[in-house]
Amino acid sequence: MSVVTRFPPSPTGFMHVGNARTALFNWLYARHNNGKFVVRIEDTDRKRHSEEAVQVIMNALEWLELDYDGEVTSQFSHLDRHAEVAKEMVANGQAYYCYSTPEELDEMREKARAEGRKTFYDRRWRDADPSTAPKDVSPVVRIKAPMNGSTTIHDKVQGEVTVANDQLDDFIILRSDGTPTYMLSVVVDDHDMGVTHVIRGDDHLNNTFRQKIIFDAMGWDVPIFAHLPLLHGADGAKFSKRHGAQSISEFKEMGYLPEALANYLLRLGWSHGDEEIIPRDKAIEWFDFDHVGKAPAKFDFKKLENLNSHYINEADTEHLLKHAKPFFIERLGFEPSGVGLERLIAGIDELKSRAKTLLQFVDEAAFYIKDIPFSYDEKAQKNIDESQDVLPVLLERFEEHDGDFTSDFIQETCKDVADKMREGKLGKVAMPLRAALTGTTVSPSIFHAAEILGKEESCARIRAVL
């Protein structure tokens, strides 16, 4: 069997991180089996449909590098096909027209509640004579659900799950206006697209028993199901806004690398021994259902940050600068180029080793690409104001030096000035130098940074302060 998995998001809002994990697991299982990963936009709810939301979804898949096979399909474009299937089931006796009015349905429910029964539709039109149908009511189409016995789903994650058939109602598959319901559309599309494995959140498990009725009624192969545990916050509650970022775009804007987020999402509910750092090629090689846990996974931002720190430190320069570029433009108004880019690249290893997010990386790298004059933050300005006697001495010592402008020379000079002017306290000299050269009090080693800036630029920055 050639494996086909699918990712069928509804374009009604942002791309939730839980949906992204579902997409990742579907993608990994397909790639692991040399199968296909297809994308279907479930856009039948036209009132809530948004083309902008579709683009958000596609952007998220692209950012996470989850490539798909074939064209993206629209569920809305298949409505006629879905309606055909409903009518075919009626013709085959697997479904029926129901003429009950909304008022009659309300009356049924109220009576059932009063008698302590389930509020299911009472199936009065299931075997009724069609000739008794009222002329002025547009009927819905209901499936003929099994009324006895039980239905079992052999789930690849949840195991064997059984539901008594008296828990299943004759649900609607075609509305009175001729439009199909979600329950019908998803089954028809999964069949027509050749989907072999349905991998989704376990909040869909109840839907699976109803969808199986349609598969069985049409005589179609039932896909293999795998229902993933949902994501929870650190407090054990369902992951929501109050726990922090929810959408992929938010994580992107917070400065996480896509490979770090993908690695973290993979480890939320799946494991391979004690491995924490799992490159994409290994994820494809190792992924299976046997190591997907049944318990909800807790989202831990600290662990994600640690993973991100690792991936930033390991990233090659081109890849890192590609993902950092939007942050440079947003925070500085321009991207690194020319001499500034050369300086940044020269100091990039230390910048990478310090950064937990791309925001931190950009903020600490900014001084390399800034031109004089630039602003100084409050703490930097305080250091400068308190060191008006130290900075002129440093400037003089730097300007008169005719050897190589190395970090060792810069550090020794600062130590000497500290011994003579600040009772040997190196920080009382290094901090104002950092403030003058970077505009901030947080940066990589200022001695190394000054060497990268060079004698001419370092002196120019001190003169600008003075």
- Dihedral sign (CA 86, 89, 91, 96): negative
- Dihedral sign (CA 213, 214, 219, 221): negative
Q: What is the H or E stretch that residue 20 is in?
A: helix 17-32
- The DSSP string of 155-168 is ETTTEEEEEEGGG-
Q: Comparing C-alpha atoms, which of 358, 177, 123 is closest to residue 258?
A: 358
The residue annotated as part of the active site, out of 47, 135, 241, 302, is 241
CB 228 within 8 A of CB 292: yes
Structure tokens at 41: 């936009």
CB atoms < 10 A from the CB of 356, how many?
19
φ, ψ (nearest 5 deg) of residue 96: -150, 160
298 is catalytic: no
CB 379 within 8 A of CB 440: yes
Question: Under 8 Å CB-to-CB from 195, ≥6 apart: which residues?
Answer: 4, 5, 6, 38, 189, 223
- The DSSP string of 23-49 is HHHHHHHHHHTT-EEEEEE----TTT-
Q: What's the angle, vertex CA 39, arms to CA 41 and CA 159, rounded to 5?
A: 105
Q: Give catalytic residues, as residue numbers.
A: 241
